[in-house]
Amino acid sequence: MWYVITDGPLKILKSNTVVAVTEGASQMVHKHRSEWTGEDKKKVNLDNVAKNILHKTLDKNTFSKIKMCYTAKEICEKLIQIYDGNEQAKENKLSAMQKFENLKMKAGETLNEFDECFSSLVNELAALGKEYGNREIAVKVMRALPRD
């Protein structure tokens, strides 16, 4: 079944007997559904089985991000993009996480200005796939505020 995820849905083909055979290899064409055997039907259904397995393993939040994907391969590629991302996304996420860890309220900065900066950073991280719980956010805000 893994090849359905890596290569996409299987295509049911047959030899094209109408076209002349060249160099010993016959040209393949799609087999009409009325010609499918029981084995062909099982092969075609493998993509549905793979999609079903992937759907059952995802939480509601992740499912909402992949629900528009048509094939198991598209789902897998989207999940890789979401959780791994490309190199630029990884760098952006790391940079934003470092900003988050090092964030401190500056001298002379108002609470509204700090809140705006903090919220923007939390939203940027969420867009990059890194989300913090309410407790983590509250602890970070408390540590970022000045002690005096």
Beta bridge partners of 134: none
Number of independent structural domains in the chain: 2
Largest CA distance in the chain: 88
How confident is residue 71, by pLDDT bands cut at 50, 70 and 90? Answer: very high
**pLDDT, tens only, 114-148:** 999 999 888 888 877 788 889 998 999 999 988 87
Question: Are 60 and 117 in the same domain?
Answer: no
Question: Are 111 and 134 in the same domain?
Answer: yes
Question: Are 24 and 70 in the same domain?
Answer: yes
> Which of 48, 83, 118 corresponds to the end of one domain?
83
Residue-number span of the structural domain to which 103 is assigned: 87-144
Question: Are 71 and 111 in the same domain?
Answer: no
Question: Are 54 and 126 in the same domain?
Answer: no
Q: Do you know the residue count of the chain?
A: 148
Question: Are 28 and 64 in the same domain?
Answer: yes
Asked if 112 and 120 touch (Cβ cutoff 8 Å), the reply is: no
> Which of 60, 83, 106 corresponds to the end of one domain?
83
**pLDDT, tens only, 20-33:** 555 655 678 888 88
Beta bridge partners of 28: 15
